[in-house]
Amino acid sequence: MADEGLSGLHNEILELLRSHPHGLTIYEIREKFPNDPGIQQHLDRRVRDLRRYYDVPLEKGGKYVFKGRKKKQPEDSGAINAKMRAAVLNIAHGRCQMCGRTVVDDGIKLQADHKVPKTWGGPTTLENLWALCQLCNGGKRDFFASFDEKEMQKVVQLESVHARLAEMLHLRNGQPIPSWILEFVANVNDFQEDWHRRLRELRSIGIDYVYKRTRLPSGKVETTYALTKWKALPANHQAIIKQNERKGKRP
């Protein structure tokens, strides 16, 4: 059965994943197509295309693992069922994944919630859920309410991680953004082994920012970033970044 929107290249990637049962990282997949910059530029998107039809989860170590064709799934309502909530709380080990306070030491109650909000296009999957205390969850919702939902839907759909990070900084127009929001915007479409590096690479194409570290009452240090210099990203920004790296202009 043909899958609408999938090309011969999609099938090549699919066969590659099938032949590596333990999975491949996006970097390992890239190595199979070293001489085609067009493929390299849009590879993340093509892997996402496959995931519409096939069960290819992103597992530990950032590896995409092929597990077969997807069964038809009901529309994502955003509801977090009991099994998924239990899994999220188990991963958190009794600690708020934003502020670091714990159930045992601080008497907090944890809630399972979406990292990327459902209204921004975030899926109800284990990878997009985390455990937050009531205070952080309320603060997160208030913070997200300051963003335009339609603008954020566009941000999370951007192909390039550099574009997502740049637009996120630009939307706040010099106002500080917590590192956790930049992290999951960076990772919303594809796993980024070092999203901080992708952020630093923006400086090589004319975008700059400052960061500040603040110790929270819980003892955890929170880092925020604020835009100081803006420049619209050129269409070939990824190629420019790589060229700058070859010239020794390290981020």
The per-residue pLDDT for range 194-228, each reduced to its tens digit, is: 889 999 999 988 999 999 999 877 677 889 999 99
Q: What's the DSSP call for residue 34?
A: T
Write out pLDDT tens, residues 142-185.
878 777 888 888 888 888 889 999 999 998 889 999 888 888 78
In the chain, the amino acid numbered 89 is L
pLDDT reported for residue 225 = 96
Has residue 86 got a pLDDT over 70? yes
Q: Please write down the long-range contacts of 17-22, taking CB distance under 8 Å and 24 or more positions apart.
A: 17/50, 17/56, 17/64, 17/65, 17/66, 18/66, 20/66, 21/65, 21/66, 22/63, 22/65
d(CA 104, CA 245): 47
Give which of 232, 154, 245 is closest to 200, Cα–Cα. Answer: 245
Structure tokens at 160: 């390039």
Sorted by where each starts, the structural domains of the chain and their CATH numbers stand as 8-64 (no CATH), 82-144 (no CATH), 149-246 (1.10.10)
Structure tokens at 86: 């239990």
Q: What rounded mean pLDDT belongs to the chain?
A: 83
pLDDT band at 229 (very low <50, low <70, confident <90, very high): very high
Give Cβ neighbours of residue 229 (< 8 Å, ≥ 6 apart): 206, 207, 208, 209
d(CA 130, CA 48): 22
State the pTM of this model: 0.59
pLDDT reported for residue 200 = 93
Has residue 134 got a pLDDT over 60? yes
pLDDT band at 1 (very low <50, low <70, confident <90, very high): very low
Structure tokens at 180: 């956790």
pLDDT reported for residue 62 = 81
Write out pLDDT tens, residues 12-55.
888 889 999 998 888 888 888 766 555 555 677 778 778 878 88
Mean local confidence (pLDDT), 101-125: 88
